[in-house]
Amino acid sequence: MDRLTEAPRATLTVTADPDGGALVVGLAGELDIASLSDVAPQLDALLAREAQPVHLDLAGLQFMDSSGVTVLIRIANHFEPVTAGNASPVVARVVQVLGLADRFGLDGA
């Protein structure tokens, strides 16, 4: 009997740009309804910050469903401007199909 492998946990990290620019928010793992609780404390802390430029680094994000899109939209509604980059083809396609590529300035979408 094969054991199902556990999906990578979702993570959200926040780092300051060393050049004093936008906050860099890294999202990784699989961001879906089952993993929202993994990122909820970090998301709440992020949204408690004053509005400022944010760059979403999506390099580690392997999968995202509508719950993950909701996280992106919550961030975009709080911060200005928000850009995104390094999305995998799967994640970029989700953002593009939903008509959000321009909203995030997603390179490669």
pLDDT per position as a tens digit, 2-33: 445 565 789 999 998 767 788 999 999 999 99
Q: Is the dihedral of CA 39, 44, 49, 54 positive or negative?
A: positive
Amino acid symbol at 3: R
CB atoms within 10 A of CB 54: 22
Q: How much is the pTM?
A: 0.87
* pLDDT at residue number 102: 92
- Domain edges within the chain: 11-104
CB atoms within 10 A of CB 90: 11
Amino acid symbol at 53: P
* pLDDT at residue number 19: 73
Tell me the CATH number for domain 11-104.
Answer: 3.30.750.24
Angle of helix 36-47 relative to helix 66-78, nearest 10 degrees? 10
Please give the Cα distance from 92 to 72 (Å, whole number).
12
pLDDT for residue 1 is more than 80: no
Greater confidence, 88 or 8?
88
pLDDT for residue 63 is more than 50: yes
pLDDT for residue 108 is more than 70: no
Please give the Cα distance from 57 to 15 (Å, whole number).
11
